[in-house]
Structure 1
C-alpha cells in the first residue's frame, strides 16, 4: 500500500519517460536523484563516508552522533529525547502534530506538511537526504511509510532487478520493495514500511529514518540496473 503525493491516496507518482514528457510537465524525481544530491552536498562540504554496524535499538543514538560529528568540535554529552506513547490508535492528523513536535536533533532537518484530500497523508521532505520525500498515512490498524524508488521505465533490466530485489531481504531492515500499477497504467517500484497504528512516536521516527537510509542503500546496491 503506497501513497500518491498529488492526491493523498495510497499511490506514489512515477517517473515520466524523459523523451516523452509533455512540454511544461514536471518530471517526478526518483530516489536516486535525491541520494545523488545528498552525497554531492556532503562531499562538497568535505565530509567522508564511514560505515558503522550497531544494534537496531542504537540507530537513533548513532544518527545523533553523526550529526554532532559533522561539526568541527564536539561539546557536551549525547542524549536521547523522550517520546510520547500513542496510547491508542493514531489518526493521520494526530500523528502529523506529534511528528511536527519532534526535535530536529532526532528526526533531522525536515519539512512536514499535511496533505488534505479524500484521505489525509503526511509528506516529509528529508533534507538530510537531499530532500527525499516520504509519505505517511494511517490506514486502519497500520501506519504506512512509503517513498518512490524508481519507475519501471527507469529500470534497464527488469528481470535482473526483480531477481536482485527478491534476494535483498536482509539488506533493508524494516523496509520492503513492491511494484504498483498507477492509475495511468504505468508501474513503479516503491520502498515502504508498515507498523502498528498504536506505535510510539519513537518507533515511527525509527521507521522514517530507516526507510530513508534503506533508500540510500538501495540506490547504491541496485545502481547497475537503473537507466542513467
Structure 2
C-alpha cells in the first residue's frame, strides 16, 4: 500500500506533461476569503464545460446526464452514485472506474486511472459524503512530530481537502479526505474526486519534498 503513492506520482507527472502539451495550465489563485465561493463556482463552471466538450455544449441534456446532475432533492446512496458515474458523460474516457464494497454501510471504491489507479473511498450518509484516500504509513515518515506540524500548516494551501490519520489493521496511515453535502450534484462530486486525487499526488511528492527541504535548511 505504501508503494502506491510513489507509482502514482510518476504516472501523474506524465499525465501533467501531456496536459501541458495539449494547452492546459495549472493556475493557483490567491483572493480575499469573501470571494472564495464565487471563485470556486467559476472554476467549477470552467471544469464542467471542458469536461462536457462540444457535443454536450450543443445538447445540454444528452443520454448519460441524469437529473441528479442538476437539482438534488435527496441524498445520494452508494449504488445510485455508482450508477450515475458509470453512465455519466461528464467523465473523460477511461478516467475512473467505480466498485461498490458491500457491508453494513456500503462504500464506493473509485480508482482514478489518470492518477496511477489511485483508490478513493466514498461513503455517504443523510447529510454528508466523505471522500478519502490513504497515503503512506505513519511509521515510515521521518521526523513524525515535525512533519505533523508541517501538515497542519500546509493544510491551508491544499484546496478542498484535509489531512488525517486512520488506523488500518492495527497500523496508522496518513489520509487525505474531503467532505461535501450528500445532496450535491454529480458534477461537484466528480470535481471533488479530481481535486482529492490531485492533492494526494502533490502530498506524496511535492509536499514531502518541501518538508525534507525545510528540515535540511533548518539544520
Classify the TM-score, shorter chain. 0.7 to 0.9
TM-superposition CA deviations, 1:15-52 (whole Å, max 9, x none):
3xxxxxxxxxxxxx432321222214655899498432
**Aligned counterpart, 2:7:** 33
Q: Give, in whole Å, the separation in 1 of the partners of 2:19 and 2:93.
A: 21
Q: Is 1:95 matched up with 2:81?
A: yes
Q: Give, in whole Å, the separation in 2 of the partners of 1:35 and 1:187.
A: 22
**Aligned counterpart, 2:200:** 215
The alignment partner of 2:184 has SS state of coil
**Aligned counterpart, 1:59:** 43
Q: Give, in whole Å, the separation in 1 of the partners of 2:79 and 2:56.
A: 31
Written as runs of structure 1 = structure 2, the 5 A alignment for 1:161-176 is 161-176=147-162
Output the TM-score relative to the length of structure 1: 0.70
Q: CA RMSD in A?
A: 3.3
Are the structure 2 counterparts of residues 113 and 154 from structure 1 closer, same or farther at C-alpha, using a change threshold of 3 Å? Answer: same
Q: Give, in whole Å, the separation in 1 of the partners of 2:201 and 2:41.
A: 20
Is the contact made by 1:151 and 1:189 (CA closer than 8 Å) also made in structure 2? yes
TM-superposition CA deviations, 1:140-193 (whole Å, max 9, x none):
4221101012111231221221011110122112110001222x3210010001
The alignment partner of 2:150 has SS state of helix
Is the contact made by 1:60 and 1:106 (CA closer than 8 Å) also made in structure 2? no
- Flag structure 2 segments of 5+ consecutive residues without an equivalent: 30-38, 213-219
Higher helix share: 2
Is the contact made by 1:64 and 1:106 (CA closer than 8 Å) also made in structure 2? no
- Flag structure 1 segments of 5+ consecutive residues without an equivalent: 1-13, 16-28, 69-74
Are the structure 2 counterparts of residues 218 and 153 from structure 1 closer, same or farther at C-alpha, using a change threshold of 3 Å? Answer: same
Is the contact made by 1:180 and 1:188 (CA closer than 8 Å) also made in structure 2? yes
The alignment partner of 1:53 has SS state of coil
Q: CA deviation at 1:76?
A: 5.5
**Aligned counterpart, 1:120:** 106
Is the contact made by 2:79 and 2:100 (CA closer than 8 Å) also made in structure 1? yes
Q: Give, in whole Å, the separation in 2 of the partners of 1:203 and 1:67.
A: 12
Moved over 6 A (4+): 64-68
Q: Is 1:149 matched up with 2:146?
A: no
Q: Is 1:84 matched up with 2:70?
A: yes
Q: Give, in whole Å, the separation in 2 of the partners of 1:30 and 1:212.
A: 13
Q: Is 1:134 matched up with 2:108?
A: no
